[in-house]
Structure 1
Amino acid sequence: MAILLEDEAPIHGDVLETILSHVPLIDLVPASYVSKSWSRAITTSLQCFNKPKPWLIIHTQCTRSPYDISVRAYDPRSHVWIEISQPSIKYVSALRSSHSNLLYMLSPSKLSFSFDRMNITWHHVDAPRVWRTDPIVAHVGGSIIIAGGTCDFEDDPLAVEVYKTETRTWETCESMPAILKDSAASTWLSIATTHDKLIVAEKFTGVTYCFDPKLKKWAGPYELRPDARIFHSVIGFSNNRLILIGMIGDAENVTRLKIWKVDTESFECEELGEMPSELIKKLKSETFGVSSISVCLAGDYAYMSKSSELAEEIVGCEFINGGGIRWWSMKNEAAGDGNRSERVVFSCSVIGLGDLQRAMSLGNRKFALKL
């Protein structure tokens, strides 16, 4: 990027800030070190002209040893895909994600997890006392919550354990509500986290409970079914609001997809918008219709894809201040390799200039635009 040419007058002020607003975030990192005036111009440009937006980050894990993970990210600020080269992550088991930016791997002897915005730092701790195959896993405050998903030979299929990151110890808590006995697994439950609570909702019934890791207690039930025709729903939490995404109809014929904002005290729902019908088709599987969807939320953005197979396209939406939703779709760059044996995991975080500066300063990560 050459903004100042030899023998030409320097560009500064609003003109420079406007030009910088069109530069991808990863290229603004080296530009921020040019001079103090450039650094100030970049800061102003990011604050006033084109703010950082949530990245959709796609982690693709090979299913064969050494189980390498490749990472691609989509930055809606500049509408670009980025390839991220990073050190290999110590393999524990299959990579999974939860409530947007929590990544984890769980084996009978080890739990590994990462919850920072770019998943740079990984924590490796002893596994919970109860072995689980498909639990819900959440990060709330200074705690990692693991609930349900136990094997048949375990005494309590609804067991809940909390790992305190401060003391590095596991604590046993009140078990999940008995009504969730037949659905106490991540396959059947959708979760969202606030700063102090875990919210758990059955995807097919809308029955919802809240868990407080400090009190180690569950509250509920609440009903998240603002439309009786909903057959599948997921929840997420971002920008201090609980979001409910519900599909109406059935798996073979999804007629509508609506989004509601949910009051976390009364659990009353306020409709925010509806997905255009042409985008619903992009979530359909040739084999399963639209039996389920995967959703990541961060900031004012949500990314959706079909979860039954590797999605060729991803549907995105932005919650507009003052009301309304902007919709679009994009090609999934991670689907271009054609290797269906790989595990694909989505996460989402608002990535700012400081996050990238810290990541690049480590010297073991490289970021390249995919052209």
Structure 2
Amino acid sequence: MNQPGTICPDLPADILEAVVTTLPTIDLLSASCVSHNWLHAVRSSLHTRPRLFPWLILRRLPHPSASTHSIHALDPNSHTWLSVPFRNNSIGKQSLLTSYFLLGSTRDLLYTLTLSQLVISKDPFGSSIKMETKGPKVWRQDPVVAEVGQWVVVVGGLFVIDLDEGEEEGAVEIYNKQTDTWELAESIPTMFEGYTYATLLSVAVSDNRLYVIEKNTGWVSQFDPESKKWEQTRQLRPDSSVLKWSIAIAGKERLLLVGAGREGEVMKVRTWDVDGDTLQVISNNPEEMPVEMVDRLFPNFDCLHEDMQAVCSVEVRGTERGGYMFDPANMKNGVVMYQLSMEEKEKEERRVWRWEWVPSPATVGCDMMERISVGCSPVTLHEVARCLLKAKSNLLPRRLQ
């Protein structure tokens, strides 16, 4: 029984669990503190209905010299944003983490990569450090950095110092977490020459492969870190009207190919299923993002000059359960959440079975100087609690910490 004066009524366990199931993830923290019964209901709910759909995580730095940054994380279960401010602290290992995300097969983490060290966070909020080791042999800026099984793969980028003999613009290095060693691997295929920067590529990661696609041309290739070689390479252009391409994981040995293009004066966003082994489009019947959501991503598209229409782009971040599509140059326009069918589909069945529009936080995209890095990852209740605790202590005056 409840103590006299409490406002929490006794509820049957099944009803209490049903109530808890409807709560946003952040509210589960408060709910678990109400009483032992509520704590049990929270644990039971997360056990029977695990929240596996990935969160969209934005790490926002207003400008390079800003004293604070913020993390905005979208809870897909409630469609609400968790916004957490941080002070940039020059003390402690956490200050080593940048706003860039290390792409992974199941979750994205924050990282810092320099000539002297590689630092990777333990969770997608950067609340603590998971790994710190020496840096790669070749120093570059804006490379693709991904975690593929036991390897961290670094591809391309802008080289800020002269390359040594034998080093190439498309240089690839892999770090073996088991042996704590860096090794040079086969350079990125020549089709990507001049397009080896992360900003020009879209990336997807499976348990054993890294996939990259050049956003403008549709050239795609797969890299196997175990053999240290690039395997299949081909150009994916199932629709000649597409201006920009992007990819994400869509299941075991499956990729979701996303294309954004102009059809008359209208913008279209279409998706195709691609075989992860052969890199061939499985069906030429694409699925389309609902028109009303495309219009929200690209407001007044028909009023733009043709040159401005040509630079409009859609980026995708996701896992085998689903993810998010957005215009990386206009995050203030919001994001579109998509959910993939988890059933083995027949050839003509729909792969994306649910689309949903989500507005961005009011402060995102308002400052032309700000940098926004985008990650996608399942998030646990413990990680949310740790993020909030770190933010609270981080914003305290140092004498009170």
Aligned length, in residue pairs: 362
Cα deviations across residues 117-166 of structure 1 (Å, max 9, x unaligned)?
Answer: 44333344443222212221111112211111233843511111112233
Change (3 A) 1:359 1:330: closer
Structure 2 portions without partners, runs of 5+:
344-349, 394-401
Question: What is aligned with 1:351?
Answer: 379
Residue 248 of structure 1, aligned match among 244, 261, 267: 261
* Structure 1 runs of 4+ with >6 Å offset: none
Residue 173 of structure 1, aligned match among 154, 167, 185: 185
Structure 1 portions without partners, runs of 5+:
none
Question: What is aligned with 1:161?
Answer: 173
Output the aligned Cα RMSD.
3.3
Distance in 2 separating the partners of 1:310 and 1:6: 44
Residue 137 of structure 1, aligned match among 104, 120, 145: 145
User: Which structure: greater helix fraction?
Assistant: 2
Aligned partner of residue 183 in structure 1, secondary structure: coil
- The reply to whether residue 282 of structure 1 matches residue 296 of structure 2 is yes
- The reply to whether residue 197 of structure 1 matches residue 209 of structure 2 is yes
Higher normalized contact order (CA 8 Å, seq sep 6+, divided by chain length):
1
- The reply to whether residue 326 of structure 1 matches residue 354 of structure 2 is yes
- The reply to whether residue 101 of structure 1 matches residue 114 of structure 2 is no
Change (3 A) 1:66 1:168: farther
Question: What is aligned with 1:127?
Answer: 135
Distance in 1 separating the partners of 2:9 and 2:255: 51
Residue 98 of structure 1: CA displacement? 5.0
Residue 49 of structure 1: CA displacement? 6.3
Once the two structures are superposed, the pairs formed by residues 31-70 of structure 1 within 5 Å of their partners are 31-32=31-32, 37-46=37-46, 51=51, 53-65=53-65, 68-70=68-70
Residue 30 of structure 1: CA displacement? 4.3
Residue 224 of structure 1: CA displacement? 2.5
Distance in 2 separating the partners of 1:299 and 1:91: 32
The alignment's TM-score, normalised by the length of structure 1, stands at 0.83
Distance in 2 separating the partners of 1:84 and 1:7: 29
The alignment's TM-score, normalised by the length of structure 2, stands at 0.78
- Aligned residue type for 1:303: Y
CA contact (8 A) 2:232 2:278 kept: no
Change (3 A) 1:40 1:201: same
- Aligned residue type for 1:242: L
Change (3 A) 1:7 1:300: closer
CA contact (8 A) 1:92 1:110 kept: no
- The reply to whether residue 113 of structure 1 matches residue 120 of structure 2 is yes
Distance in 2 separating the partners of 1:300 and 1:8: 36
Change (3 A) 1:142 1:121: farther
Distance in 2 separating the partners of 1:136 and 1:253: 34
- The reply to whether residue 364 of structure 1 matches residue 368 of structure 2 is no
